[in-house]
Amino acid sequence: MKIVGVLFLCVITQFAFAQTSYSDTISSENNDNVKQHERIFYEENSKAYVYTNENGEEMSYRLFFPPEYNTKRKYPLLLSFHGAGSRGNDNLKQLRPWVAGWMDKKFQKEHPCIILMPQCPIKHKWVDVPWKKGSYLLEDIPLSKPMKLAKEIFDKVVQENSVDKKRIYVMGASMGGYGTWNFVMRYHKLIAAAVPICGAGDPSMTKKIRKIPIWAFHGDKDPTVPLSGSIEMIESLYKQKNNKARLTVYKGVGHNSYEFAWKEPKLIDWIFSQKK
């Protein structure tokens, strides 16, 4: 009986780590499918808006439409959460390659999509938790004002534009990685796939999000958000039946795993193949 138990434990352990891979980042550096541009490119190819709700609360955001946008067809929507360094109200700082990079013209020919990029105000967070602690309990953390406004903007964009509601994706890095996990946990019925980069969430919530394809990324030398933030979420998802989770850990990489993740060729094809 003990032998059977040990064998069973071994099988479960092997399965749990089967979809976790370690990468030396070479594949992302050599990706010719998407080009990194200067910020002026992202600025000129997106529209700036300021959202104001009925309570007078405001949030800046950018919206990108494919070059050949046609209201008679439906497009995937990418909600892209930026990190702490892009906070403000200038509606420009969030235009980083790992937030806005998929505007690239060659990329858009293959995967035309709408990109929504809200900007979190200074001194605020998408999720009000200390980043260095990693995982947290969702029930202990109220919905932040920036996340509430981002959701209101998201609803407005989906309602007013030609969005394919079966192909809504969420991606974010660092503070935005926290935002991605949080958005998915709170609004899991809306999401077709998610890409949280160097973030963390609530591992006890994974039963609700187990059917969502999620590909997380993290650097194994991250000094800002512990690698455990991604590992604990993904390991908890692995324990759920029929989960669709995977994790890529970049060897020797610190907090800048987002510089590699957004250009991963397999990620790009993977996310745009996902549908609800």
Q: Percent of the chain scored above 90 by pLDDT?
A: 87
Q: Which CATH number among 3.40.50.300, 3.40.50.1820, 3.90.1300.10, 3.20.20.80 corresponds to the domain 18-272?
A: 3.40.50.1820
| Residues pairing with 171 in the sheet | 80, 195
Q: What is the pLDDT of residue 22?
A: 81
- What CA–CA distances, in Å, run from 53 to 60, 90, 91, 98, 118? 12, 19, 18, 28, 14
Domain residue ranges of the chain, discontinuous segments joined by +? 18-272
pLDDT per residue as tens digits for the range 188-203: 999 999 999 999 999 9
Residues of the chain above pLDDT 70, percent:
90
Dihedral, CA atoms, 42, 47, 52, 58, nearest 10 degrees?
Answer: 20
Residue with the bigger pLDDT between 155 and 21: it is 155
Chain centroid, CA 30 distance in Å: 22
* Integer Cα distance of 152 and 156 in angstroms: 6
- Residue 18 scores a pLDDT above 60: no
pLDDT per residue over 124-180, tens digit each?
999 999 999 999 999 999 999 999 999 999 999 999 999 999 999 999 999 999 999
